[in-house]
């Protein structure tokens, strides 16, 4: 897969695995990772079927034999993928309570802009606090639900959440693993692309870390590094720079 050139788009205003809730019922999905993969050198409501496998996951992240033959091969949807902590909200140490959540400047408006432009707004986030035993998975979902509740006042919404609860050096055995979904690995983005029939060439991932840009590249999506300021302006300039149609 050809890597995309890394882009850093500063704003003009300076200041400081597999569940389904989509669009009408915003989805919160956590990866169910298979055993570690060695890469070649030099790419609404919680579900009722939230099953857990023996290693903290249910079905594999990409079950090609069981799923791809049933999905349309033409991907026509487009998405803006957002990192969460440090991009949408102030990066509080292991944030897991809605009362500690603080939107960054222009974040809510950026999501509204993405909604109105016809893109899916999808959150892609590492949440290793689960593996470290700092908080349960339910807290990740609780914060996400609060985000969507708060966005309602603006007429905005997030379409999906994809999060990785794993860490190779965690303290909770169920989540302690070298998975394929923890950024900068592209598993979460690839999963979202498959499940929502997204065209990666018409999509962009915005995050405040180098790992976000690398994750985007490895998934075949444009990567933009957010360096502070109005996220709305960053989104507008990114879509214009990459000449991605907004309608």
- Catalytic center residues: 83, 85
Buried b (16+ CB within 10 A) or exposed e, 3-25: ebeebebebeeeeebbbbbeeee
Nearest by Cα to 187 from 57, 54, 22, 14: 57
User: Cα 27 to the chain's mean position, in Å?
Assistant: 11
């Amino acid at each position: 897969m050809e890597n995309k050139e890394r882009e850093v788009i500063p704003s003009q205003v300076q200041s400081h695995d597999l569940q389904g809730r989509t669009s009408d019922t915003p989805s919160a999905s956590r990866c169910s990772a298979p055993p570690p993969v060695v890469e070649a050198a030099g790419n609404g409501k919680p579900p009722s079927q939230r099953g857990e496998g023996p290693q903290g996951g249910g079905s594999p992240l990409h079950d090609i034999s069981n799923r791809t033959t049933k999905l349309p091969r033409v991907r026509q949807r487009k998405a803006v993928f957002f990192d969460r902590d440090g991009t949408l909200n102030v990066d509080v140490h292991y944030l897991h309570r809605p009362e500690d959540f603080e939107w960054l400047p222009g974040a809510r408006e950026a999501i509204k802009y993405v909604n109105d432009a016809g893109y899916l707004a999808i959150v892609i986030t590492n949440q290793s606090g689960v593996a470290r035993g700092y908080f349960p998975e339910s807290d990740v979902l609780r914060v996400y639900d609060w985000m969507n509740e708060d966005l309602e006042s603006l007429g905005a919404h997030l379409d999906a959440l994809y999060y990785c609860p794993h860490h190779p050096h965690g303290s909770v055995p169920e989540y302690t693993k070298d998975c394929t979904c923890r950024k900068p690995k592209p598993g979460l983005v690839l999963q979202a692309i498959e499940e929502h029939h997204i065209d990666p060439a018409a999509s962009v991932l915005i995050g405040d870390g180098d790992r976000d840009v690398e994750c985007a590249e490895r998934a075949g999506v444009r990567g933009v590094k957010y360096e502070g300021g109005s996220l709305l302006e960053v989104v507008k300039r990114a879509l214009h720079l990459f000449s991605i149609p907004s309608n």
